[in-house]
Amino acid sequence: MNTDICCIFNLAPHYRQAIFVLMDQKLECDFYFGDQVKGSIKLMDYNVLKGYKGMLSTKNIMNTSFEWQKGVLNLIFKPYKFYLITGHPNVLSNWPLLVIAKLLGKKVIAWSHGMKDNPDSKHKWFEKLFYRLTASVLLYGEHAKKNMISKGFDHKRLIPIYNSLDYEKHLEVRKSLKSSSIYENHFGNKLPVIIHIGRIQASKNLDFLVQAAQELTLENNPCNLVFIGEDIGDNNLVEVTKKLNFDNNVWFYGPSYDEEEIGNLLFNADVCVSPGSVGLTAIHSMSYGTPVISHNDINRQAPEHETIIDGKTGSLFELGSLEDLKTQINRWIGLDSEQRENIRKYAYSVVDEKYNPFYQIHVLEHLFQKKK
């Protein structure tokens, strides 16, 4: 063993490959991943990491939300100085790691969403104790940091690291993008285009978006609507478009994993709308210069909603208000070419500044250097 850093993560989704590869190269981490995959998450190829050491068997405990990663206890006594873990208190194998590491003078750093701002949570004390035992907490955004400071945590231990996708690939694609006739060819018109990228599922309230686009069209603000992503089958979105007699203005593009293809679609759309929480969709859209609309209930949002700067990279509508959603869409579908180009630059700057793996590796290098 020639590394001080042991990474213990629940899994490694494909979208995190870029940052994990950088960690492998720059920090020379050892990586251990859990073997339990929920849903249809696409995993990265673990073997691209020279520091990949193996899988940890993850077991649910008596049909509860609690889990145990078999093998973590063995890692406590290996000669690592730092443990970087998926920071979830419900992974019970993290608890002895935290306690014994303290006794041995080692440091455990949680990479986490942090504590939710939920005053009714019955498990707040449980979460609070968990994060108290860590040396530092890496967070996905500023809101989580402010929330934990309000709960009494030392701001110096709370470090926003944000999130990222395959930034280098996106940059490569971005340089080749230009206006195209892809939507005019498909729809047979030059109407503004609203786009959504991500799995098509009931929890995302996409029928709300269809209704907003249909009403805007009836109100003499006509537009087209495009969905990129796999339909997981728990919704009736296709039927909704037909029922509203709006199906000719909707393109169910289907799933795509080709970034050149995705880049062309996003770049040439006017605005990306995510009526539910926005998540990585915001980073993906802004990587190709397209503003994002999502709802304004921060406690129901993903951390990536922080990329949305009102009037510059998108806007937030009042949750549940169809009228406000329509108002916000209208702000973005009538821009002239100069305004649209300025919005592209704002969107790019957000991703280029913080939401990329190079920013994240800088945070990690500084953290581990400071703690040596």
Architecture of domain 5-164+356-371: 3-Layer(aba) Sandwich (3.40)
User: Would you place residue 233 in the very low, low, confident or very high pLDDT band (cuts 50, 70, 90)?
Assistant: confident
For residue 289, pLDDT over 70 is answered with yes
Higher pLDDT: 66 or 116? It is 66
| pLDDT recorded at residue 37 | 76
Number of other residues whose CB lies within 10 A of the CB of residue 188: 10
pLDDT-based confidence at residue 122 (cuts at 50, 70, 90): low
Closest CA to 358 of 25, 14, 12, 5: 25
pLDDT at 119: 57
Residue of 4, 372, 29 lying closest to 12 (CA atoms): 29
pLDDT per position as a tens digit, 193-223: 999 999 999 989 999 999 999 999 999 999 9
Distances (CA, A) of 127 to 90, 120, 247, 301, 314: 9, 13, 47, 19, 33
- Confidence at residue 42, expressed as pLDDT on a 0 to 100 scale: 86
- pLDDT value for 121: 60
Confirm or reject CATH 3.40.50.2000 for domain 168-353, answering yes or no.
yes
Of the listed ranges 40-44, 161-165, 302-306, the one predicted with least confidence: 40-44
What's the N-to-C CA distance of the chain in angstroms? 17
- The confidence band for 123, taking pLDDT boundaries of 50, 70 and 90, is low
Tokens of 132: 């108290």
d(C-alpha 47, C-alpha 33), whole Å? 12
Average pLDDT, the chain: 94
Domain span(s) for CATH 3.40.50.2000 in the chain: 5-164+356-371, 168-353
Give the torsion sign (CA, 166, 171, 176, 177): positive
Q: What is the mean pLDDT of residues 284-302?
A: 96
pLDDT for 63: 82
What's the rounded Cα separation, in Å, for the pair 222 and 214?
A: 8
- Region of poorest pLDDT, from 99-108, 225-234, 272-281: 225-234
